[in-house]
A and B are shown apart, each in its own frame.
Chain A
Amino acid sequence: MSGWESYYKNQGDEEEEQEEGLEAGGDYSYSGRDSLIFLVDASRAMFESQDEDELTPFDMSIQCIRSVYTNKIISSNRDLLAVVFYGTKKDKNSVNFKNIYVLQELDNPGAKRVQELDKFKGQEGKKCFQDQIGHGSDYSLSEVLWVCANLFSDVQFKMSHKRIMLFTNEDDPHGDDSAKASRARTKAGDLRDTGIFLDLMHLKKRGGFDISLFYRDIIVAEDEDIGIHFEESSKLEDLLRKVRAKETRKRVLYRLKLKLNKDVALTVGIYNMVQKAYRPSPVRLYRETNEPVKTKTRTFNVNTGSLLLPSDTKRSQIYGHRQIVLEKEETEELKRFDEPGLILIGFKPLMMLKKHHYLRPSLFVYPEESLINGSSTLFSALLTKCLEKEVLAVCRYTPRQNTPPCFVALVPQEEELDDQKIQLAPPGFQLVFLPYADDKRKVPFTEKVMANPEQVDKMKAIVQKLRFKYRSDSFENPVLQQHFRNMEALALDLMEPEQTVDLTLPKTEVMDKRLGSLVDEFKELVYPPDYNPEGKVTKRKQNDESSGSKRPKVELSEEELKAHVSKGTLGKLTVPALKEACRMYGLKGGLKKQELLDVLTEHFQKA
């Protein structure tokens, strides 16, 4: 989070915890925007729930779409989304087809749109829908798809990916009209030809949803996703997972050759499956109108004040009292070692991979046929054998031309599916980064003091009591959530932001209850009677607070400050001292040292 990174700069400490650095990774250049149309069946059957307390399929779809909207706002707000109902009474579309209602055209997700979707939630939503739009009796799927295609073609932006998600619980919409059915098939084929993907999010139907009746020919089986067919979803959770899996298009970071030796190579695609989500950086707004401001950075010559072109500048670094100057191209050249690619070094047993030698988030490797045909077969053979022999492949990895190489371990991963046939783990290799000698640091360790078996057993009992099943998606980022709730509240003029639940906080009450007397028993075994594990620390905490509340003692006289300013040694003072000085003169400085320095210097120069 760049914003408060600079805001709260830890002082002078090399170890400062830049947890949220701005190296937001994402190396891919956007070639266009992803676009997604939610196509929702709004005929009467969608509003009938089988149980009293069960969600209606329509309600489920809407909630699901809303969740995608809010997620997109967080993760990729440039993407375009649209919502289209069909089987409606009223119609609203550019071609004036009957029974098709375009609720939202393709555009960025925003607060207003989310609000609009909220109107259709729950029982009231059902009513609202019936009042505003109503159910129609008839529709033609080919026309529906036609409207969708028009929505795509109306968009002014370049689109990299077009997808339609069809939510319905009717498995044979044109059962009695073969002409309509065949037209729908042709239209679906046309969509495929223009690169529009069509996914079926089929919902529960009494008697089961039979894909083979109609939709098998309609849905576009992406050549890459052959063999992945979902079961119908009866729960919101299932539907959400299905939609999540499809909503983002997988973007290949790099396409690289994996070279077994000089002349045998296959191509692979590198993907990232975890990517830190950051709070978006703030936009500068003009204070008067709240319009976004364009920022321009220019370089001037200090002496002549003339404008400098980027090519006029060089890079420099001071070492051993000497300024070393390099051209910008040379700084790039420094990093050039290999051609981009993965070069096989050899194989090692899986157990030699050290978990605690973690360096960077791992990437995912999957074969790519686009450059070398037959890559998949060799890849598949490698994967099979690596799994069987429990080995990993060590490779030298150069993702780009001007990137120095690093060593990586390709760890084989077998495909995993859950009972809904949703892929939990795709087949391929995990690309795990291996550290260089310089990346490891020597750490002064505390002398080893072993616990006795009795103590270990007691702790085992504690551990067993607090068992849970870890799922990677069970924790939300409280900071991000809070930020977006705030934004939402401001955008929608809510009185107060929706309360977030911080899932990262330990549930101490539950834990205490589960542990019961075990903790005291353990303490008795381990800690001496008068020992207080919190004692010292709390004492220090008080110290911290008192020293924090007390103003720094260093009060500088005006003369001293003036002397510092004239000598240019103001920078030697500490930030608290500078702040104090600013306070004395009623100056408003920033929080950064440089800002404080500037303010003070200016003040004294004026005086």
Chain B
Amino acid sequence: MLSITNSRRNKRPESAHAQSVDAQFPRPLQAPREAAFPATIQPLQLRIRRPRGLWGSMFKWGGGAAVVLCMDVGLAMSNSFPGEESPFELAKKVITMFVQRQVFAENKDEVALVLFGTDGTENALAGEDQYQNITVHRHLMRPDFDLLEDIESKIQPGSQQADFLDALIVCMDLIQKETLGKKFEKRHIEVFTDLSSPFSRDQLDIIIDNLKKSGMSLQFFLPFPIVKKGGTGDRGDGSLLLDDHGPSFPPKGITEQQKEGIQMVKKVMMSLEGEDGLEEIYSFSESLRQLCVFKKTERHSMPWSCQLTIGSNLSIKIVAYKSVSGRYTFFKEMLPGREMCLYKKLMPFSCSPGFRYGSDIIPFSKVDEEQMKYRSEGKCFSVLGFCRSSQVHMKYFMGNQVLKVFAAKDDEAAAVALSSLIHALDELDMVAVVRYAYDQRTNPQVGVAFPLIKDTYECLAYIQLPFMEDLRQYMFSSLKNNRKCTPTEAQLSAVDALIDSMSLVQKDEEEGTIEDLFPTSKIPNPQFQRLFQCLLHRALHPQEPLPPIQQHILSMLDPPTEVTAKGQVPVSKIKTLFPLTEVIKKKNQVTGQDLFQDNPEEGPTCKRLKTEEEEARFSVSSLAEGTVTCVGSVNPADNFRVLVRQKKASFEEASHQLINHIEQFLDTNETLYFMKSMDCIKAFREEAIQFSEEQRFNNFLKALQEKVEVKQLNHFWEIVIHGKVSIFLAPKENANTDTAAAFEEGGDVDDLVSTSNTYQVFSCLNLADL
């Protein structure tokens, strides 16, 4: 519904008028086209009320609305000033947007389209000279994309003129006839015209009378804003929506005929609705702004009646409604085009259900389940107790809905009882903890019910609370006692300034009120807006790619510009005061040590090391670890290399640690660790050459051999032999001059065997024999 109507219309009794309209509107053969016109038009004050419920919040219980769109396509509609859109185009836009909303709102509304000023004539009332140039373009039915396409392409400006009151009569006739036998909550006519065609006023009283009797409502949409004389009945929000060209009113180039038309429209609306009637006259531009937002499928809350119980003896009849819920599904169907369909191939007959209990799977048939499952005792809303409202923190709220709990309808005793509970809780600052079960088949919940007192109503709001199983107890380190992240005074005051400058509220000191500059709960969900935009585009242009997001959707999501502007300075101050550096991601394989290194700041320097490091013998990532302080067991060989090269520990100390690890590895008696030990031994040997610590290595190897003998780790020793590790043969002096040679010389254990050498502490032959 383009619900620019007051809801009170709903209450108007519907009279079942089945009489044909034309019976009551005998059309005179020749209408006097010229009429006296008031001498002066007051410089009117602009006052247009913001239509209520444009988001489609009109609340209805079943039954849709029958809407006739009555559009002027006459000659004058396509006149426009250069650079401006013609009233025809504007009206078309408004109608398109209205129909778009209707298509996606998925309600029961039906829409008809009547054009007047068309070249042809096609309507039920048309006679010889009567009701000419009025075409019923589409009869009352659910709006769809065909209608949209029609509006887009088929509706063309006509070259004729037609009486808008005549068109109104055609619309009324159409509504009368086509709503017969259907149930509609309301019947509604929307007229889009520039009022530049002449009209005859002699049927006016009958029109008004008939509109009133049949309970039809009427709205006018004009290319210019109209203003009510005197501006009475101020509702406080009138000044909010001044039209763009407000001050320059009356609009340029308004003709005498139009002025007369305005008077007529006013008269009609006044006599229908009184003063408020004028508020049902809109300008195109205003409507466009309001209609650019798609309306979502209307969702109604079903009442859930139950009894609130306190103990066994006190119960209050209540009714509850879902009031906030953010669950939607779109694209439920997954059809791969027209000719294909989805099939699920399962073999349900040879299967039975089972459940996991830890590592075990337990067969559990439906029959078992029926017998053993938890049995709820049916619907309930029972108070378990009351507690201080501060104990039930918002962070515990669960589930996906808020229920509003009222006293049962038309039950004053229940209303008083619930009211006393609401006020008692409110005054004590307490809340009720409640067991809630929707019905016997759903699982019970524990939730909180807290009082909500508004001007017009009071109720309890219910929200689910977690069970013990739903809670996660994570711990986070304190931010207060952590020296690393304690902000300085200067930093704190910068943040202080930021908060002050980016405030989203405006305080009115005099009235003590606070205005919200960014009421998020008034913003329509951009997801739907985008979805509808794309669906619409795809429906009308199936071959084209999806359009970009509309600007008005994006700007809806942005903070008010003045807030962002005010925040600029404090934010840049924060930028200078707080060192914020992006961490460059390391591409190396992430090892445990990378994850748990103490000092991530070392990262960049290590990078440099990487390029400088020419030795490719060992992984650079080990250097990148930065702070190797001792030889660990994960990567002892590399740790050892780093330690001795960076001179962080003496060779003696480092080698001692390394030896310890080698011994530990040997203790496991596993091949994997033997290989690790081999790496260590090799590293030891190489570094020993570099640092002229051959003797230390020799001693180690000797000691190792003894150990191996004791522990009977022959297979390990074989690995050592095959790994071509040997003691240093050359005397110290030689080693210094020609370590490489020494290494070469001792490179092959088998060679070594054949060489008799004075330095040989043990014979490799012996070793092999072991």
State whether A302 touches B340 (Cβ < 8 A). yes
Which of B502-510, B643-651, B707-715 binds A?
A: B502-510
State whether B492 touches A436 (Cβ < 8 A). no
Task: A299 to B383: give the CA distance in the assembly, Å.
Answer: 51
Task: A319 to B309: give the CA distance in the assembly, Å.
Answer: 45
Given A274-B396, A404-B530, are A506 and B487 also a contact pair (CB < 8 Å)? no
A462 sits at the interface (CB 8 A)? yes
State whether A334 touches B311 (Cβ < 8 A). no
State whether B372 touches A381 (Cβ < 8 A). no
State whether A533 touches B583 (Cβ < 8 A). no
Given A355-B450, A426-B475, are A317 and B333 also a contact pair (CB < 8 Å)? yes
A587 sits at the interface (CB 8 A)? no
State whether A440 touches B386 (Cβ < 8 A). no
Task: A273 to B494: give the CA distance in the assembly, Å.
Answer: 31
| Residue from B57, B146, B394, B523 within 8 A of A321 (CB atoms) | B146
B249 sits at the interface (CB 8 A)? no
Nearest Cβ in chain A — how far from B199, in angstroms? Answer: 35
State whether A458 touches B420 (Cβ < 8 A). yes
Interface string of B655-677 (1 = CB under 8 A from A): 00000100000011100000000
Task: A473 to B598: give the CA distance in the assembly, Å.
Answer: 36
B602 sits at the interface (CB 8 A)? no
Interface string of A352-372 (1 = CB under 8 A from B): 110111111110101101111
State whether B301 touches A441 (Cβ < 8 A). yes
B423 sits at the interface (CB 8 A)? yes
Given A378-B574, A407-B520, A470-B392, are A285 and B352 also a contact pair (CB < 8 Å)? yes
Nearest Cβ in chain B — how far from A346, in angstroms? Answer: 4
Task: A439 to B59: give the CA distance in the assembly, Å.
Answer: 15
| Residue from A361, A366, A378, A448 within 8 A of B397 (CB atoms) | A361
Nearest Cβ in chain A — how far from B239, in angstroms? Answer: 23
Nearest Cβ in chain A — how far from B425, in angstroms? Answer: 7
Which of A9-17, A208-216, A558-566, A574-582 binds B?
A: A9-17
A33 sits at the interface (CB 8 A)? no
B322 sits at the interface (CB 8 A)? yes
B residues 503-527 near A (Cβ < 8 Å) are 503-505, 514, 516-518, 520-527
Residues of B within 8 A of A378 (CB): 487, 491, 495, 574, 578, 580
Interface string of B299-318 (1 = CB under 8 A from A): 11111011101111111110
A583 sits at the interface (CB 8 A)? no
| Residue from B305, B399, B581, B632 within 8 A of A372 (CB atoms) | B581
State whether A439 touches B345 (Cβ < 8 A). no
On chain B, which size bracket covers the interface? 35 or more
Task: A320 to B564: give the CA distance in the assembly, Å.
Answer: 41
Nearest Cβ in chain B — how far from A390, in angstroms? Answer: 10
B residues 309-363 near A (Cβ < 8 Å) are 309-317, 319, 321-327, 330-347, 350-363
Task: A466 to B424: give the CA distance in the assembly, Å.
Answer: 13
Interface string of B213-237 (1 = CB under 8 A from A): 0000000000000000000000000
Residues of B within 8 A of A604 (CB): none
| Residue from A346, A373, A448 within 8 A of B457 (CB atoms) | A448
Q: Which of A367, A486, A515 has the most CB of B within 10 A?
A: A486
State whether B433 touches A193 (Cβ < 8 A). no
Which of B80-88, B263-271, B460-468, B717-725 binds A?
A: B460-468
Interface string of A233-258 (1 = CB under 8 A from B): 00000000100111010100000000
State whether B326 touches A379 (Cβ < 8 A). no
Nearest Cβ in chain B — how far from A351, in angstroms? Answer: 9
Residues of B within 8 A of A111 (CB): 357-358, 360
State whether B526 touches A337 (Cβ < 8 A). yes
State whether A358 touches B474 (Cβ < 8 A). no
Residues of A within 8 A of B399 (CB): 19, 361
On chain A, which size bracket covers the interface? 35 or more
Interface string of B434-462 (1 = CB under 8 A from A): 01001101111110001010001111010
Which of B18-26, B173-181, B538-546 binds A?
A: B538-546
B345, closest chain A residue (CB)? A298
State whether A438 touches B444 (Cβ < 8 A). no
Residues of B within 8 A of A290 (CB): 352, 354, 361, 363
A19, closest chain B residue (CB)? B442
State whether B521 touches A434 (Cβ < 8 A). yes
Task: A44 to B468: give the CA distance in the assembly, Å.
Answer: 35
State whether B374 touches A482 (Cβ < 8 A). yes
State whether B474 touches A490 (Cβ < 8 A). no
| Residue from B57, B147, B634 within 8 A of A442 (CB atoms) | B57
A225 sits at the interface (CB 8 A)? yes
Which of A35-43, A169-177, A523-531 binds B?
A: A523-531
| Residue from A450, A486, A511 within 8 A of B311 (CB atoms) | A511
Residues of A within 8 A of B504 (CB): 345-348, 394
B36 sits at the interface (CB 8 A)? no
Nearest Cβ in chain B — how far from A218, in angstroms? Answer: 16
| Residue from A244, A313, A447 within 8 A of B415 (CB atoms) | A447
A601 sits at the interface (CB 8 A)? no
Q: Which of B484, B549, B598 has the most CB of A within 10 A?
A: B484
Given A284-B353, A347-B502, are A446 and B457 also a contact pair (CB < 8 Å)? yes
A494 sits at the interface (CB 8 A)? no
A residues 414-462 near B (Cβ < 8 Å) are 415, 423, 426-428, 430, 432-451, 455-460, 462
Which of A50-58, A119-127, A128-136, A275-283 binds B?
A: A275-283
A442, closest chain B residue (CB)? B59
Which of B117-125, B589-597, B698-706, B762-770 binds A?
A: B589-597
Which of B154-162, B404-412, B679-687, B738-746 binds A?
A: B404-412
Interface string of A1-41 (1 = CB under 8 A from B): 10110001000011101011100000000000000000000
Task: A194 to B748: give the CA distance in the assembly, Å.
Answer: 35
Task: A464 to B392: give the CA distance in the assembly, Å.
Answer: 17
B563 sits at the interface (CB 8 A)? yes
Interface string of A464-497 (1 = CB under 8 A from B): 1011111111111111111110111011000001
Nearest Cβ in chain A — how far from B252, in angstroms? Answer: 37
B485 sits at the interface (CB 8 A)? yes
A15, closest chain B residue (CB)? B302
Nearest Cβ in chain B — how far from A473, in angstroms? Answer: 4
Task: A515 to B145: give the CA distance in the assembly, Å.
Answer: 64
A49 sits at the interface (CB 8 A)? no
B343, closest chain A residue (CB)? A300
Task: A250 to B476: give the CA distance in the assembly, Å.
Answer: 9
A84 sits at the interface (CB 8 A)? no
Nearest Cβ in chain A — how far from B102, in angstroms? Answer: 9
| Residue from B315, B421, B524, B575 within 8 A of A438 (CB atoms) | B524
Task: A107 to B360: give the CA distance in the assembly, Å.
Answer: 12
State whether B443 touches A190 (Cβ < 8 A). no
B496 sits at the interface (CB 8 A)? yes
Residues of A within 8 A of B355 (CB): 280, 282-283, 483, 487
B277 sits at the interface (CB 8 A)? no
A363, closest chain B residue (CB)? B395
Residues of A within 8 A of B303 (CB): 444
A204 sits at the interface (CB 8 A)? no
State whether A470 touches B473 (Cβ < 8 A). no
Nearest Cβ in chain B — how far from A431, in angstroms? Answer: 9
Nearest Cβ in chain B — how far from A349, in angstroms? Answer: 6
Interface string of A513-552 (1 = CB under 8 A from B): 0010001101100111001011011000000000000000
State whether A301 touches B444 (Cβ < 8 A). no
Task: A331 to B534: give the CA distance in the assembly, Å.
Answer: 10
B251 sits at the interface (CB 8 A)? no
Task: A286 to B353: give the CA distance in the assembly, Å.
Answer: 9
Q: Which of B335, B356, B396 has the most CB of A within 10 A?
A: B356
4 smallest CB-CB distances across A and B, nearest first, come from A313-B336, A320-B144, A376-B485, A451-B420
> What are 15 of the A-B contact pairs (CB < 8 Å)?
A224-B476, A228-B475, A284-B351, A335-B530, A355-B450, A356-B324, A359-B326, A381-B487, A394-B520, A438-B296, A451-B417, A486-B368, A490-B364, A491-B362, A508-B312
Q: With A325-B337, A475-B465, A504-B446 given, can you name 4 additional A-B contacts, CB distance below 8 Å? A: A21-B327, A322-B146, A450-B419, A506-B309
